[in-house]
Amino acid sequence: MKTELTGMTAAELSAWAREQGLPAFRGKQIFQAIHRGEDFAEMSSLPAALREQLRESAVAQPVRIRAERVSRLDGTVKFLFSLEDGNCVEGVLMKYHYGYSLCISTQVGCRMGCRFCASTLEGCVRNLSAGEMLGEILAADRYLREKEPPEEGGDGQAPRVSHVVLMGSGEPLDNYDQVMKFLRLLREPDGLRISLRNVSLSTCGLVPEMYRLAEENLPVTLCVSLHAPNDEIRRRTMPIANRYTISEILEACRNYLRKTGRRVIFEYALSEGVNSREEDARELASRLRGLQCHVNLIPLNPVKERSLKGVTEKTVSRFLRVLEEEHISATRRREMGDDIEGACGQLRRAALSAEERAAGEDGAAG
Ligand code: SAH
């Protein structure tokens, strides 16, 4: 198997270079080239024979863009990334006034089983490595270099991803070690140098790992997919609610706030007949009172394999109004790329089933 170099720090790459009988400075050169998004063929600072040798034994860019869809509504780009072993995951690139934000996947599939989510329908295939998570950013940066000319009056540099959200497929805290490694790679001095203050990590609420994360001394924003005002409602859509109660989650959030000074964001997907009544909003407000936090409301995006429904705009506004009356900071999350199967796991499923159909038509279905 080829060695994946993307997940290594500059120091690890230098050590690896020495093991290969190369001078240590080659390790640093390769590290810098990888983080500029170069594949071995493009590493002009290396001798041609070395580039060829590396190509045979190692991987510099483990993630490729297999398909992309651009939203006509807001320019959001949904990527289907392919990995070296043929698996694929999704990413979403969004342009904000402050720069480009990329939503990345942390696992192929997911084993959390949330009933509204398309990513989890076939369980978790495998964890992504730190290098693959970094590779998603490198692939998006490459896309920006090719598609977006440098801004006029700017520094002549192509735009790059400046913000990262771990909100694609997978449960980041279920792939804890590789996610921590990835976060540390982001701030390597010769690497992408993305500030961890620009990184958000979303979890369905794995309480022990939330405590562990608070001890890492990494200033990432913690987002928690709450989706319910009480445990009874939460258990209807989220199996993880059988393991941890909302009280335990909120205690872990208070601890995170104490340790990092960063307010917690709660995700709340509204579904008709499940969690969208006025009394649900009041109960949610009473649970969150006194906690420095923000609530992101979003109408549930119905997934065709699931029976759960979304809600009308009127229901969103009513829910929001109650939270505001109760002095809970809340917004309706901007829904981006609504026309491009923006919800978790939907594009991957669409692509996989299209491929299955094509394979079937060829008579080559496995
Ligand atoms: N496992 C992590 C991160 C991935 S999901 C987590 O649970 O937070 C990213 C967000 O999208 C979560 O808040 C998830 O609950 C939400 N989500 C998944 N499917 C959705 C759907 N069909 N409609 C609205 N939100 C959805």
Confidence tier at 362 by pLDDT (50, 70, 90):
very low
Q: Are residues 48 and 74 both part of a single domain?
A: no
Short-list 138, 38, 160, CA closest to 79:
138
Q: Are residues 105 and 133 both part of a single domain?
A: yes
> Cα separations (Å) of 126 from 88, 109, 174, 205?
11, 7, 11, 20
CA gap 113, 204 in Å, rounded:
10
Whether pTM exceeds 0.75:
yes
Q: Establish if 365 belongs to a structural domain.
A: no
Checking if the pLDDT of 343 tops 60, the result is: no
169 CA distance to ligand 1 centroid (A)? Answer: 8
Mean pLDDT of the region 266-294: 97
Q: Are residues 22 and 106 both part of a single domain?
A: no
Q: Are residues 203 and 349 both part of a single domain?
A: yes
CA angle 50, 55, 58 (to 5 degrees): 105
Q: Are residues 30 and 113 both part of a single domain?
A: no
90 lines ligand 1 (CB under 6 A): no
116 lines ligand 1 (CB under 6 A): yes
Q: Is 344 a catalytic residue?
A: yes
Least confident of 45-59, 110-124, 198-212, 324-338: 324-338
pLDDT one-digit tens code per residue, 184-197: 999 999 999 999 99
CA gap 27, 5 in Å, rounded:
10
Q: Establish if 186 belongs to a structural domain.
A: yes
The answer to whether residues 174 and 112 touch, using CB atoms and an 8 Å cutoff, is yes
Q: Are residues 160 and 188 both part of a single domain?
A: yes
Q: Is 293 a catalytic residue?
A: no
Q: Are residues 275 and 308 both part of a single domain?
A: yes
CA gap 105, 165 in Å, rounded:
9
Q: Establish if 244 belongs to a structural domain.
A: yes
Position 356 scores a pLDDT of: 52
275 lines ligand 1 (CB under 6 A): no
CATH number of 132's domain = 3.20.20.70
Short-list 194, 247, 250, CA closest to 220:
194
pLDDT one-digit tens code per residue, 207-219: 999 999 999 999 9
> Cα separations (Å) of 18 from 23, 28, 51, 120?
6, 11, 16, 42
Name, in order, each residue with C-beta under 8 angstroms of 1's C-beta and a sequence gap of 6 or more.
none
167 lines ligand 1 (CB under 6 A): yes
Confidence tier at 15 by pLDDT (50, 70, 90):
very high
Checking if the pLDDT of 263 tops 50, the result is: yes
Q: Establish if 364 belongs to a structural domain.
A: no
The answer to whether residues 268 and 320 touch, using CB atoms and an 8 Å cutoff, is no
N- to C-terminal Cα distance for the chain? Answer: 25
Domain that residue 39 falls in: 3-59
> Cα separations (Å) of 123 from 19, 113, 114, 171?
38, 7, 11, 11
pLDDT one-digit tens code per residue, 83-137: 999 999 999 999 999 999 999 999 999 999 999 999 999 899 999 999 999 999 9
Q: Establish if 366 belongs to a structural domain.
A: no
Residue of the nearest CA to atom 7 in ligand 1?
204
| One-letter amino acid for residue 189 of the chain | P
Query: What does pLDDT average to over the chain?
Result: 91
Q: Are residues 53 and 90 both part of a single domain?
A: no
Residue of the nearest CA to atom 14 in ligand 1?
225
Q: Are residues 217 and 183 both part of a single domain?
A: yes
Out of 166, 167, 223, mutate this one to test ligand 1's pocket (max ligand atoms within 8 Å of CB): namely: 167
Q: Establish if 260 belongs to a structural domain.
A: yes
